[in-house]
């Protein structure tokens, strides 16, 4: 797997932002929209900061950008402090010229019986826009991408999933206690991610070193869903030194 190792997450995030801006510019030049798949969490914060800087200082415009977020907790109100809608507004959307109609984040407010149809529609919308040009991923300590926890199938689509215990522990600080972390989420599937034309998985710090080693070097298995990325020739791992420290 192509792995790029940077001195620190700042330099790595700048490089990923530069690549996103390049794809936007290429598509702008041929009058095409750019479809970007986005992640939340700690990992992409510096990437979004750099995209905001590119918008403010370098004239990069997001007017023709369409976004699809990977996931949202379920249930979740969009105006809640912990929602991924709030996260995306705070870190990116409030600071750039994106059209809110072009933003898609899974809806955590649906009745459970509406979710399956909604998820199919999410997939259809991605296809209608021509598919994802560039997909940004983080990785959880369970090996999840999006919220595709161990047990997820490589051809899985957008769906309602149950969060792993470790994933809920890792989110407990944000929610003021693990008991407040939702037990479920709506997530794009591994199959959905695989359809993207280009996939960039980012990981920072030694805390991610052991899961990155598994994802990049260990046998492909649903026990570590990120290992499925080894099957794609469109994936790049962008790491800082800490996250890369256990690679052989
Ligand atoms: C978030 C997502 C998750 C995170 C992962 C890592 O949209 O899809 O897979 O990327 O849980 O989270 P952080 O970046 O907080 O370590």
pLDDT of residue 221: 98
Domains of the chain: 3-160+186-240 (3.40.50.1360)
Q: How confident is the model at residue 33 (pLDDT cuts 50, 70, 90)?
A: very high
What is the value of ipTM here, to two decimals? 0.99
Q: Is the pTM of this model over 0.95?
A: yes
DSSP 62-78: -TTEEEEESEEEES--T
Tokens of 20: 């996103």
Determine whether the shortest distance from the Cβ of 37 to ligand 1 is under 6 A: no
pLDDT of residue 77: 98
* 151-205 residue pLDDT tens: 999 999 999 999 999 999 999 999 999 999 999 999 999 999 999 999 999 999 9
149 is catalytic: yes
* 42-73 residue pLDDT tens: 999 999 999 999 999 999 999 999 999 999 99
pLDDT of residue 1: 78
Which ligand 1 atom lies nearest to the CA of residue 44? 14
Q: What is the mean pLDDT of the chain?
A: 98
Determine which one of 15, 149, 219, 246 is catalytic. 149
CA–CA dist 223, 239 (Å, integer): 22
Q: How confident is the model at residue 94 (pLDDT cuts 50, 70, 90)?
A: very high
Measured in angstroms, how far is the CA atom of residue 215 from the centroid of ligand 1? 15
Q: Count the helices and strands in the chain (H runs, E runs).
A: 8, 10
Determine whether the shortest distance from the Cβ of 138 to ligand 1 is under 6 A: yes
Determine whether the shortest distance from the Cβ of 39 to ligand 1 is under 6 A: yes
Residue 130, pLDDT > 90, answer: yes
- Tally Cβ neighbours within 10 Å of residue 124: 11
Which ligand 1 atom lies nearest to the CA of residue 137? 10
Which sign does the torsion angle of CA 150, 4, 194, 26 carry?
positive
Measured in angstroms, how far is the CA atom of residue 140 from the centroid of ligand 1? 6
Q: How confident is the model at residue 212 (pLDDT cuts 50, 70, 90)?
A: very high
Bridge partners, 106 (sequence order): none
């Amino acid at each position: 797997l192509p792995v790029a190792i940077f001195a620190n997450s700042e330099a790595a995030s700048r490089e990923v932002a530069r690549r996103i801006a390049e794809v936007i510019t290429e598509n702008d030049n041929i009058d095409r929209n750019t479809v970007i798949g986005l992640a939340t969490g700690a990992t992409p914060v510096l990437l979004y900061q750099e995209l905001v800087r590119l918008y403010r200082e370098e004239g990069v415009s997001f007017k023709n950008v369409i976004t699809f977020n990977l996931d949202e907790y379920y249930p979740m109100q969009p105006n809640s402090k912990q929602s991924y809608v709030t996260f995306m507004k705070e870190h990116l959307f409030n600071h750039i010229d994106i059209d809110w109609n072009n933003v898609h984040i899974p809806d955590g407010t649906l009745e459970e019986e509406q979710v399956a149809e909604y998820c199919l529609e999410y997939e259809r919308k991605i296809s209608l826009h021509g598919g994802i040009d560039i997909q940004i991923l983080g990785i959880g300590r369970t090996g999840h991408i999006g919220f595709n926890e161990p047990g997820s199938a490589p051809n899985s689509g957008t769906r309602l999933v149950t969060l792993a215990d470790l994933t809920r522990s890792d989110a407990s600080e944000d929610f003021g206690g693990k008991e407040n972390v939702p037990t479920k989420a709506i997530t794009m599937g591994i199959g959905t991610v695989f359809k993207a034309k280009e996939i960039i998985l980012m990981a920072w710090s030694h805390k991610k070193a052991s899961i990155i080693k598994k994802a990049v070097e260990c046998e492909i298995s649903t026990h570590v869903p990120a290992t499925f990325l080894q099957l794609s020739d469109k994936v790049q791992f962008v790491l800082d030194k800490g996250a890369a420290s256990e690679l052989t």
